[in-house]
């Protein structure tokens, strides 16, 4: 039983490290769209390159949120499994 708990803890740590690396990659992919030539702060919806930049930033933020949710779910599964084993 002790080996199973250690395996779960090791798997959780490994997944947390991989998700952390993914978060770092996503965090570095966000750009400042206000520096683009066709950015217009008076518009609620951007067009052209600025629109693509804003869309890309939105998708990156959604992926970041999804990674955090995945980590929380995995932590809950590991905790419930450990509690069930005891």
pLDDT digits (tens, 9 = 90+) for 45-67: 888 899 999 898 888 888 878 87
pTM of the model as a whole: 0.60
Q: What is the pLDDT of residue 14?
A: 83
More confident residue, 34 or 6: 34
Mean pLDDT of the chain: 81
Banded model confidence at residue 2, pLDDT cuts 50, 70, 90: low
List all residues 6 or more positions away from 19 whose beta carbon is below 8 Å from its beta carbon: 67, 70, 71
Q: What is the pLDDT of residue 1?
A: 60
C-alpha distance across the termini of the chain, in Å: 9
The separation between CA 2 and the C-alpha centre of its own chain, rounded to angstroms, equals: 31
């Amino acid at each position: 039983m002790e080996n199973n708990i250690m395996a779960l803890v090791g798997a959780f740590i490994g997944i947390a490290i991989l998700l952390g690396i993914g978060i770092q990659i996503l965090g570095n992919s966000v750009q400042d769209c206000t520096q683009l030539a066709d950015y217009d702060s008076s518009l609620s919806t951007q067009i052209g390159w600025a629109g693509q930049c804003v869309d890309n930033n939105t998708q990156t933020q959604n992926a970041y949120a999804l990674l955090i949710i995945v980590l929380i779910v995995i932590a809950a599964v590991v905790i419930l499994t450990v509690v069930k084993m005891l």
